[in-house]
Amino acid sequence: MLTTEERKSIIDLIHRQVVPAIGCTEPIAVALCVSKARELLGSLPESIDIQLSANVLKNAMGVGIPGTGMIGLPIAVAIGALIGKSELGLEVLRYCDSAAVARGKEYISQDRINITLDENAPDKLYITVKCKTGSHEAEARIGGEHTNFIYLRKDSEVILDKPLHQTGDDEEEDIKLTLRKVYEFATQTDIEEIRFILEAKRLNEAAAADGLRDNYGHQLGKTMCSPLGKGIMGDGIFSKILSTTSCACDARMAGAMIPVMSNSGSGNQGICATMPVVVFAEENHNTEEETIRALIISNLTAIYIKQHLGSLSALCGCVVASTGSSCGITYLMGGSYEQISYAVKNMIANLTGMICDGAKPSCALKLTTGVSTAVMSAMLAIQNKHVTSMEGIIEDDVDKSIRNLTDIGRNGMDETDHFVLDIMTNKNSK
């Protein structure tokens, strides 16, 4: 049984990890760091020098920047320096408009921005920004999490200098979750205390609707909603889950100026943990309370897995988020804790090893792969069918199975991560 203090800690954890974000969170985190350094400097920088960890660089190379119609880091950096507001966090570019984009293009053309790989970065999520004007310099660093400033300096005055994995001055360490704690919190907490999760439903449904209206990215969601898509995929719950999730991802990765509710620093993870559960609940005629509890199960499961995996890794984040949505769907089917644990095992047995090759429009394909597996895993789980400890990396203990997944993603795939980045940065020269 969870204590009152544990429940409060979990609610605080969800509020920190499930937040609105506009645009892909890696280039947005860079823009956030730039805006903070610019604010410290007190004027528009004559030059901006940026060093990025490999995983940040990988996820920022090929994704659309909201409100700009452009791809990649230079425009994100320029807009962050020109009009970014650091107090907005992952919505730092909320006020980007055509005038700002024009100024940003001019700023880029003046060769003021220098972006390099930080080969000695102490974390997979690490950003260093130095802004200079005349004899003055300001520096800002983000590490560990997308909005976690760990170092701030104006000239020789150090304003902030804290350990990399300390998320706040006086914050206690995050509560250590287990799948059982996730389930008990989601199913036993007073519904009014967790009703806030419906904001994730509202934001991500709006993003999906936007993705269906316009032609974003590879238009995977729209394709599945077309006569061709319905002719092949049908028009049932399964196809609606896939198309709606894909529409939201299409819009976000193409740079639509819309907020989505992120999870653990990723908008795609937020979409993937939310939309399959929302669509299934509507099609299955679940109650609002059941929907709320399922969304908490899904989002909190993703947060739990990310506690061990880290904010960025070589493992595609849709593996984590779709595992959460499989748990949520299993619950909506009437599943018990044991059946939810079966769903987790089925997911880990199938999707472990899916690589992250950066944020880009084709992420919609990976989300669809993860979500389709989520539905199949839930269908098996509700019938008490699951991958056993005799197979692959699965163990009888579901939490140990999760550790095996995260150990592979965090440590076992490191060499894969370096190899992927090398291909991405050198493919035009081969």
What confidence tens digit (pLDDT) does each residue in 312-337 have? 888 999 899 999 999 999 999 999 99
Residue pair 99/78 in contact (Cβ under 8 Å)? The answer is no
The token pair that represents 54 in the structure block: 């490999």
Measured between alpha carbons, how far is residue 359 from residues 127, 264, 365, 406 in Å?
A: 17, 15, 12, 20
Least confident of 304-308, 360-364, 404-408: 360-364
User: What is the pLDDT at residue 320?
Assistant: 95
CA gap 125, 52 in Å, rounded: 8
Confidence at residue 430, expressed as pLDDT on a 0 to 100 scale: 53
Q: CA-to-CA distance for 376 and 155, rounded, in angstroms? A: 56
Judged against a pLDDT cut of 50, whether residue 214 lies above it is answered with yes
- Judge whether residue 100 has pLDDT over 60: yes
Instruction: Give me the residue label for tokens 């970014």.
Output: 84
Cα–Cα distance measured from residue 240 to residue 245, given in angstroms and rounded to the nearest whole number:
8
Using alpha carbons, list the distances in angstroms from residue 402 to 83, 274, 302, 341: 42, 20, 11, 10
Under 8 Å CB-to-CB from 421, ≥6 apart: which residues? 54, 57, 58
Token output for 253 = 């990765």
Helix H or strand E encompassing 157: strand 157-161
CA atoms within 13 A on the CB side of 221: 31
Looking at residue 171, its pLDDT comes to: 45
Cβ–Cβ < 8 Å for 243, 229 = yes
Cross-sheet strand order for the sheet of 47-52:
113-117, 47-52, 126-133, 136-143, 149-154, 157-161
Q: What tens digit of pLDDT does each residue of 29-88 get?
A: 999 999 999 999 999 999 999 999 999 999 888 889 999 999 989 999 999 999 999 999
Confidence of residue 103 (pLDDT cuts 50, 70, 90): very high
| Backbone phi, psi, residue 50, to 5° | -130, 130
The burial class, CB within 10 Å (0-12 / 13-18 / 19+), for 44 is middle
Cα angle at 320 between 345 and 332, to 5 degrees? 65
Given this model, what pLDDT does residue 169 score?
Answer: 41
262: closest CA among 29, 6, 8?
29
pLDDT value at 96 more than 70: yes
Distance separating alpha carbons of residues 272 and 302, to the nearest angstrom: 10
Query: Alpha carbon 147 to chain centroid distance?
Result: 13
Confidence at residue 62, expressed as pLDDT on a 0 to 100 scale = 83
Cα–Cα distance between 116 and 272 in angstroms, integer? 31
Of 8-17, 297-306, 359-368, the one with minimum mean pLDDT is: 359-368
What is the length of the chain? 430
| Residue type for position 242 | L
Rounded CA-CA distance 409/316 in Å is 9
CA distance from start to end of the chain: 58
Query: pLDDT digits over 159-168, tens only?
Result: 999 998 764 4
* Whether the Cβ atoms of residue 420 and residue 314 lie closer than 8 Å to each other: yes
pLDDT > 80? residue 175: yes
- Return phi, psi of residue 93, to 5°: -100, 20
Q: What is the DSSP letter of 412?
A: I
Contact predicate 114/48, CB 8 Å: yes
Q: Which amino acid is at 410?
A: R
Residue 426: pLDDT above 90?
no
Cβ proximity of 199 and 15 under 8 Å: no
In the predicted model, what is the mean pLDDT of the chain? 94
Which tens digit of pLDDT belongs to each residue from 217-272?
899 999 999 999 999 999 999 999 999 999 999 999 888 999 999 999 999 999 99
Cβ pair 301, 401 in contact under 8 A: no
Closest residue by Cα to residue 34 from 155, 158, 164, 140: 140
Contact 150, 142 (CB under 8 A): yes
Residue range 267-288: mean pLDDT, rounded? 97
Q: Report which DSSP code applies to 239.
A: H
User: pLDDT digit string (tens) for 117-159?
Assistant: 999 999 999 999 999 999 999 999 999 999 999 999 999 999 9
Radius of gyration, CA atoms only, the chain: 21
**pTM to 2 decimal places:** 0.92
Question: Dihedral of CA 208/226/360/354: which sign?
Answer: positive
The answer to whether 189 and 13 have CB atoms below 8 angstroms apart is: no
Helix ranges restricted to H, 18-89: 25-41, 54-60, 73-83
